[in-house]
């Protein structure tokens, strides 16, 4: 699912369940310590996405290593690698890419179901809420409010590794194209510096199927100027 909306340079691995012996098994000791007090569901999700991430890393020729979360929860990656993880009911995925070709990547998957009451008011800007209402009327069959939430999650997952700072839902404006299945995230605060240039917007893609919506943002690394 996620692999369909990312370039070939990104190695993707996904699963629709938790095919692991038990919560916390097959993890490195350091990883088990991080989730020792978590509920079994969280342990299973944590385990599965790390097994998927290590499988994706192998596709880039990278040996298996512990993937420890930061205090914010973002996974740590080996030097020279960028990546992202997501998990929700019925889906887990991990993607990785080489940093020389990808500055940052962010993915998110969510159930294709309306957000709980009141959440859109927290997540969406007024014009985004109007957009969601219009999309729901013109293109029924997709939970556009959930897709908006997913897109903002992908925005944060691209933003955070580049800045090390938080980004509020209100600090990025999403414009969704329902036909091309793309979106554009306009940053409403100064964007990150990538290759010496400030990035003001992130382009993304989205997909839906199997009861899920998913979003992905791939930010290419700047190319070296020609001599």
What are the backbone angles phi and psi of residue 81, rounded to the nearest 5°? -125, 140
CA dist., res. 81 & res. 96, Å (int)? 7
φ/ψ of residue 93, rounded to 5: -150, 150
The pLDDT value recorded for residue 224 is 58
How much is the average pLDDT of 21-39?
Answer: 83
Listed range (81-90, 153-162, 205-214, 218-227) with the worst mean pLDDT: 218-227
| Predicted local confidence at residue 20, as pLDDT | 66
Q: How confident is the model at residue 73 (pLDDT cuts 50, 70, 90)?
A: confident
Kind and range of the H or E element at 88?
strand 81-88
* Structural tokens at position 216: 């992905």
- Would strands 201-209 and 212-220 be described as parallel, antiparallel, or unpaired? antiparallel
**Cα separation, 80 vs 99, whole angstroms:** 5
- For 140, residues 6+ apart whose C-beta sits below 8 A from its C-beta are none
pLDDT at 71: 78
Q: What pLDDT shows up at residue 99?
A: 96
List, for residues 5-17, the tens digit of each pLDDT value.
999 999 999 999 8
pLDDT above 80 for 155 = yes
Contact 53, 28 (CB under 8 A): no
**Global confidence as pTM:** 0.93
Q: Looking at the predicted structure, is the pLDDT value of residue 27 above 80?
A: yes
In the predicted structure, residue 29 carries a pLDDT above the cut 80: yes
Q: How confident is the model at residue 126 (pLDDT cuts 50, 70, 90)?
A: very high
Q: How far is Cα 197 from Cα 162, in angstroms, rounded to an integer? A: 12
pLDDT of residue 74: 84
Give the pLDDT mean for 121-138: 96
């Amino acid at each position: 699912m996620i692999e369909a909306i990312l370039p070939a340079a990104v190695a993707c691995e996904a699963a629709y369940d938790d095919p692991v012996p038990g919560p916390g098994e097959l993890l490195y000791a350091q990883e088990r310590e991080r989730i020792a007090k978590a509920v079994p569901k969280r342990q299973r999700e944590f385990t599965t996405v790390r097994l998927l991430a290590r499988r994706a890393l192998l596709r880039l020729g990278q040996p298996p290593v512990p993937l420890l979360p930061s205090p914010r929860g973002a996974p740590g990656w080996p030097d020279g690698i960028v990546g992202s993880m997501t998990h929700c009911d019925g889906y887990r995925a991990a993607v990785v890419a080489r940093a020389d070709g990808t500055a940052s990547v962010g993915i998110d998957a969510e159930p294709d179901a309306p957000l709980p009451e009141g959440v859109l008011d927290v997540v969406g800007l007024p014009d985004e809420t109007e957009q969601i209402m219009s999309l729901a009327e013109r293109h029924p069959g997709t939970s556009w409010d959930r897709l908006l939430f997913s897109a903002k999650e992908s925005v944060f997952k691209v933003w955070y590794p580049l800045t090390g700072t938080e980004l509020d839902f209100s600090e990025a404006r999403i414009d969704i194209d329902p036909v091309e299945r793309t979106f554009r995230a306009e940053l409403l605060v100064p964007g990150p510096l990538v290759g010496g240039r400030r990035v003001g917007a992130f382009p993304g893609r989205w997909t839906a199927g199997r009861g899920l919506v998913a979003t992905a943002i791939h930010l290419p690394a700047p190319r070296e100027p020609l001599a």
